[in-house]
Structure 1
Amino acid sequence: MRASSLATRLFLSATAWVVVILAITGIVLSSVYRNATERAFDRRLNLYLRTIIAEVATPDNTPEQFQSLGEPLFELPLSGWYWQIARADTEKPEVRRSRSLWDKNLPKMEEHGADLTAAGIRLGYVDGPEGQSLRMVERPVDLGIDGKYLVSVAGDATEIFDETRSFDYYLGGTFAALTIVLVLTTIFQVRFGLAPLKRISESIADIRSGRAERLEGEFPVEIAPLARETNALIDANREIVERARTHVGNLAHAIKTPLSVIVNEASARGADPFAAKVLEQADVMRDQVAHHLERARIAARLTVIGTVTEVAPAIEALRRTMEKIHRDRGIAIGIKADVQAKFRGERQDLEEMAGNLVDNACKWAVSQVSIEVLVEPPAEPGAGPMLRIIVDDDGRGLSAAERAQVSRRGQRLDESKPGSGLGLSIVVDLAALYGGSLSLGNAPIGGLRAELVLPAV
Structure 2
Amino acid sequence: MARGDPGHHRRGAVVGLQERDRTRLRPPAQSLSPHADRGGRDPGRAPDRQFQSLGEPLFELPLSGWYWQITRTDTEKPEVRSSRSLWDKKLPKLEEHGAELTAAGIRLGYVDGPEGQNLRMVERPVDLGADGKYLVSVAGDDSEIFDETRSFDYYLGGTFTALGIVLLLTTVFQVRFGLAPLKRISESIADIRSGRAERLEGEFPVEIAPLARETNALIDANREIVERARTHVGNLAHAIKTPLSVIVNEAGVHAADPFAAKVMEQADVMRDQVAHHLERARIAARVSVVATVTEVAPAIEALRRTMEKIHRDRGIMVEAKADPSAKFRGERQDLEEMVGNLVDNACKWAASRVFIEVLVEVPHKAGAGPRLRIIVDDDGRGLSEAERTQVSRRGQRLDESKPGSGLGLSIVVDLAALYGGSLSLGAAPIGGLRAELVLPGI
Compute the TM-score of the two structures, normalised by the length of structure 1. 0.86
**1:259 aligns to what SS in structure 2?**
helix
Question: Greater CA deviation, 71-80 or 193-202?
Answer: 193-202
Structure-2 residue corresponding to 1:7: none
State whether structure 2 residue 376 is matched by structure 1 residue 391: yes
- Counterpart residue type for residue 14 of structure 2: R
Q: CA RMSD in A?
A: 2.7
**1:378 aligns to what SS in structure 2?**
coil
Structure-2 residue corresponding to 1:50: 30
State whether structure 2 residue 312 is matched by structure 1 residue 332: no
| Separation of aligned partners in 1, 2:190 and 2:332 | 20
| Separation of aligned partners in 2, 1:335 and 1:56 | 117
Q: CA deviation at 1:410?
A: 1.4
Question: Greater CA deviation, 152-161 or 207-216?
Answer: 152-161
Structure-2 residue corresponding to 1:96: 81
- Counterpart residue type for residue 18 of structure 2: E
**2:177 aligns to what SS in structure 1?**
helix
CA contact (8 A) 2:292 2:330 kept: yes
Compute the TM-score of the two structures, normalised by the length of structure 2. 0.89
Change (3 A) 1:141 1:319: same
CA contact (8 A) 2:233 2:282 kept: no
Structure-1 residue corresponding to 2:47: 64
**Residues 254-293 of structure 1: matches in 2 within 5 Å?**
254-293=239-278
Task: Find 2:62's aligned residue among 63, 68, 77.
Answer: 77
Change (3 A) 1:307 1:84: same
State whether structure 2 residue 430 is matched by structure 1 residue 445: yes
Structure-2 residue corresponding to 1:4: none
Structure-2 residue corresponding to 1:207: 192
| Separation of aligned partners in 2, 1:441 and 1:173 | 71
Task: Find 2:233's aligned residue among 219, 224, 248.
Answer: 248
Q: CA deviation at 1:456?
A: 1.4
Structure 2 unmatched ranges of 5 or more = none
Q: CA deviation at 1:28?
A: 4.6
State whether structure 2 residue 388 is matched by structure 1 residue 424: no
**1:123 aligns to what SS in structure 2?**
strand
| Separation of aligned partners in 2, 1:107 and 1:406 | 112
CA contact (8 A) 1:207 1:306 kept: yes
**1:129 aligns to what SS in structure 2?**
coil
Q: CA deviation at 1:423?
A: 1.0
Q: CA deviation at 1:421?
A: 1.3
**Residues 163-242 of structure 1: matches in 2 within 5 Å?**
163-242=148-227
| Separation of aligned partners in 1, 2:377 and 2:92 | 103
- Counterpart residue type for residue 187 of structure 1: V
Moved over 6 A (4+): none
| Separation of aligned partners in 2, 1:239 and 1:109 | 95
Change (3 A) 1:421 1:127: farther
Change (3 A) 1:319 1:139: same
Q: CA deviation at 1:187?
A: 3.4
State whether structure 2 residue 358 is matched by structure 1 residue 377: no
| Separation of aligned partners in 1, 2:261 and 2:99 | 120
CA contact (8 A) 1:375 1:388 kept: yes
- Counterpart residue type for residue 292 of structure 1: H
Change (3 A) 1:266 1:43: same
Change (3 A) 1:93 1:350: same
Q: CA deviation at 1:83?
A: 1.9
Q: Kindly tell me the number of residue pairs found equivalent between the two proteins.
A: 435
